[in-house]
């Protein structure tokens, strides 16, 4: 489960985009005052559009709903971070026991007939760092990420439609329940490891069929926030939700590492209970489908959207084509082509989708980093977890101090408009990533690895700036569709890239020495490719003709 990973990749993107929207200085008529766009006849079926809060008769304030979402995220992240390292260690123990049972039974500490669940304690952990064991573990994790991505790719849009049709709460509840099932299915296979091959853990990917996909659940978080939070408050809400996603990354790995010194099943089972308790909080969340805040005046950084006057008349039901007909495939393809036509109105839009596939790989490095640290520096998984805690702490500090300062400084120092600022900062971020991944792959010691992680944190805002710039290139009424396309690109990148990274890790182990950093050299090369694309992409005069220079942000 990686709800927090997707939120970490998206929270700043949405916050940056909303800061553009709320910073619009274009004058607009006062609320409630008639103007040339006011319809002559209004119907009671459409409530008055207000941007200052939910309807007055709603029994819950928007702050209460956001607080519940933060609690859900905290519980889910705590459960995930408590189980992440222990599950990796238990998988390693199972693979390691099978390996030595076949190659050198003298290394076994306990016989198969009396050994406990997950083969924990069957072989000394330091003996499990051999290439044969680590290679199988890497393949197991790589194919797991690939299989997890299939339901996301196929069902993200249908579940998004269902959330708009039947409500957010049922899909959110089903998704969180599916995450619990996913964790329990992995634990069941590992507990009865003598009955099931360790590859049966891949069956946990079926949780995605029931909305147990990180892109689906994390997207619902932002949809619910967009439903209830006033537009002027939305950027700050995203930052607070981001804080909730980062704090468990700092605290929970420390607790998990300490408990793993006794038995990895202890933090794993505690994390399962914590994750299951998330369902109780989800039940407390009210339905927000009919509480969506209408967007205010479009940001000047967006091309204009069609006005209400330009909307066509409602279709006549008697004239609508039947759903089932011989020409349905043709109509489906035509509709899909029409819905995606906006992607080709500007050649920069499809070009700027590629960075998100690369960024998704960067956001899914937790499992690979854990195994890489353990193998390269001959660390137990509990000690390797401490390095991930340091990484989370650095990211937290940069998120709430470094990035906001840099953004304000660049904006005020050079008087850059929002688009130009986003483009320049995205180039700088990917340039930092190039150096950071090269350093990480070549780091010979733990100390140099920590320095590399500090450098890498400097580029963590790369996708945020690219998304903000890309958002400004499409009309406001196409932003939702654009984000759906980005979600698909993210999923494809994770499905294809994760097995590739673990395959490169296997190849790096066979090379030895600095070659073990091969997956990070690949990420450095991918970042270089993105940087070249961002340098090719430039500004047009029409982009900034109607956009004011931003004086203050965040």
Q: Model confidence over 91-102: pLDDT tens digits?
A: 999 999 999 999
Q: State how far the Cα of 462 lies from the Cα of 406, in Å rounded to an integer.
A: 13
Higher per-residue pLDDT: 417 or 430: 430
In-domain check, residue 399: yes
Q: What percent of the chain has pLDDT over 70?
A: 70
In-domain check, residue 325: no
pLDDT tens-digit series, residues 260-298: 889 999 999 999 999 999 999 989 988 887 765 444 433
Q: What angle do CA 385, 88, 389 make, to 5 degrees?
A: 15
Pull the structure tokens for residue 95.
């693979």
- The backbone torsions φ and ψ at residue 63, rounded to the nearest 5 degrees and listed phi first, read -65, -35
In-domain check, residue 323: no
Give the residue from 436, 489, 431 showing the smallest Cα distance to 462: 431
Q: Which range is most confident: 132-141, 292-301, 362-371, 405-414?
A: 132-141
Q: State how far the Cα of 431 lies from the Cα of 453, in Å rounded to an integer.
A: 15
* Sequence-ordered strand ranges (E) for 212-275: none
Residue 27 confidence (pLDDT) = 40
Per-position DSSP letters for 101-126, written without gaps between them: HHH-GGG-SS-TTT--GGGTTSS-GG
In-domain check, residue 40: no
Residue 326 confidence (pLDDT) = 56
In-domain check, residue 310: no
In-domain check, residue 46: no
Mean pLDDT check: name the lowest of 159-168, 186-195, 197-206, 446-455: 159-168
Spatial neighbors of 182 by CB under 8 A, at least 6 apart, are 1, 204, 205, 207, 212
The predicted model gives 24-33 an average pLDDT of 44
Residue 114 confidence (pLDDT) = 86
Residue 28 confidence (pLDDT) = 43
Q: Do you know the residue count of the chain?
A: 554
Spatial neighbors of 97 by CB under 8 A, at least 6 apart, are 108, 115, 119, 122, 123
pLDDT tens-digit series, residues 128-182: 988 889 889 888 988 888 888 788 778 877 777 787 778 888 888 988 899 999 9
Q: State how far the Cα of 372 lies from the Cα of 333, in Å rounded to an integer.
A: 45
Mean pLDDT check: name the lowest of 177-191, 227-241, 370-384: 227-241
Quote the domain boundaries for residue 530: 3-22+58-296+342-544
pLDDT tens-digit series, residues 220-257: 777 777 777 775 566 556 656 766 777 788 888 889 88
Residue with tokens 């290439």: 131
Residue 25, classified by CB atoms within 10 Å of its CB into exposed (0-12), middle (13-18) or buried (19+), is: exposed
Pull the structure tokens for residue 243.
């804080």
Residue 378 confidence (pLDDT) = 86
Mean pLDDT check: name the lowest of 76-90, 302-316, 376-390: 302-316
Residue 503 confidence (pLDDT) = 87
In-domain check, residue 552: no
The predicted model gives 81-99 an average pLDDT of 92
Mean pLDDT check: name the lowest of 121-135, 311-325, 433-447: 311-325
CB 175 within 8 A of CB 210: yes
Domain of residue 489, CATH code = 1.20.1250.20
Whole-number average pLDDT of the chain: 75
Pull the structure tokens for residue 87.
């599950």
Number of domains composing the chain: 1
Residue 29 confidence (pLDDT) = 44
Q: What angle do CA 220, 224, 230 make, to 5 degrees?
A: 145
pLDDT tens-digit series, residues 530-548: 899 888 887 665 555 444 4
């Amino acid at each position: 489960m990686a709800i927090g990973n997707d939120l970490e990749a998206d929270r700043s993107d949405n916050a940056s985009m909303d800061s553009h929207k709320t910073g619009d200085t274009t004058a607009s008529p006062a609320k409630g005052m008639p103007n040339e766009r006011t319809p002559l006849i209004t119907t009671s079926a459409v409530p008055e559009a207000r941007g200052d809060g939910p309807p007055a008769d709603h029994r819950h304030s928007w702050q209460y709903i956001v607080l519940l979402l933060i609690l859900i995220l905290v519980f889910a992240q705590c459960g995930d971070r408590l189980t992440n390292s222990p599950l990796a260690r238990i998988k390693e123990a199972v693979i390691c026991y099978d390996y030595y049972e076949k190659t050198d039974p003298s290394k076994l500490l306990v016989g198969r007939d009396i050994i406990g669940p997950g083969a924990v304690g069957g072989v000394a952990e330091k003996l499990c760092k051999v290439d044969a064991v680590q290679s199988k573990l890497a393949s197991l994790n790589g194919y797991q990420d690939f299989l997890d991505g299939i339901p996301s790719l196929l069902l993200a849009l249908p579940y998004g439609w269902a959330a708009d049709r039947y409500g957010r709460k049922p899909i959110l509840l089903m998704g969180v329940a599916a995450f619990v099932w996913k964790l329990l299915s992995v634990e069941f296979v590992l507990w009865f490891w003598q009955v099931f091959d360790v590859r049966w853990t891949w069956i946990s990917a079926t949780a995605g069929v029931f909305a147990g996909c990180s892109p689906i659940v994390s997207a619902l978080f932002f949809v619910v926030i967009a439903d209830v939070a006033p537009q002027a408050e939305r950027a700050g809400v995203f930052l607070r939700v981001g804080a909730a996603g980062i704090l468990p990354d700092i605290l929970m790995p420390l607790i998990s590492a300490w408990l793993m010194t006794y038995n990895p099943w202890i933090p794993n089972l505690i994390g399962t209970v914590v994750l299951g308790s998330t369902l109780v909080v989800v039940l407390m969340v009210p339905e927000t489908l009919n509480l969506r805040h209408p967007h205010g005046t479009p940001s000047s950084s967006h091309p204009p959207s069609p006005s209400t006057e330009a909307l066509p008349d409602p279709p006549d039901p008697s004239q609508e084509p039947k759903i089932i007909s011989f020409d349905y495939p043709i109509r489906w393809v035509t509709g899909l082509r029409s819905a995606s036509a906006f992607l080709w109105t500007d050649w920069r839009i499809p070009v700027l989708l590629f960075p998100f596939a690369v960024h998704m790989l960067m956001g899914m490095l937790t499992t690979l980093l854990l195994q890489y640290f353990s193998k390269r520096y001959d660390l137990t998984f509990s000690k390797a977890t401490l390095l991930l805690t340091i990484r989370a702490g650095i990211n937290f500090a940069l998120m709430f101090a470094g990035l906001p300062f840099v953004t304000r400084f660049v904006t005020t120092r050079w008087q850059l408009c929002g688009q130009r600022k986003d483009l320049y900062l995205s180039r700088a971020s990917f340039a930092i990533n190039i150096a950071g991944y090269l350093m990480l792959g070549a780091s010979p010691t733990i100390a140099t690895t920590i320095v590399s992680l500090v450098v890498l944190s400097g580029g963590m805002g790369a996708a945020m700036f690219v998304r903000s710039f890309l958002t400004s290139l499409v009309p406001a009424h196409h932003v939702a569709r654009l984000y759906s396309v980005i979600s698909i690109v993210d999923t494809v990148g994770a499905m294809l890239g994760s097995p590739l990274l673990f395959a490169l890790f296997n190849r790096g182990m066979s090379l030895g020495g600095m070659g073990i950093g091969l997956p990070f050299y690949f990420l450095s090369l991918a970042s270089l490719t993105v940087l070249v694309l961002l340098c090719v992409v430039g500004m047009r005069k029409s982009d900034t003709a109607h956009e004011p220079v931003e004086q203050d942000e965040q």
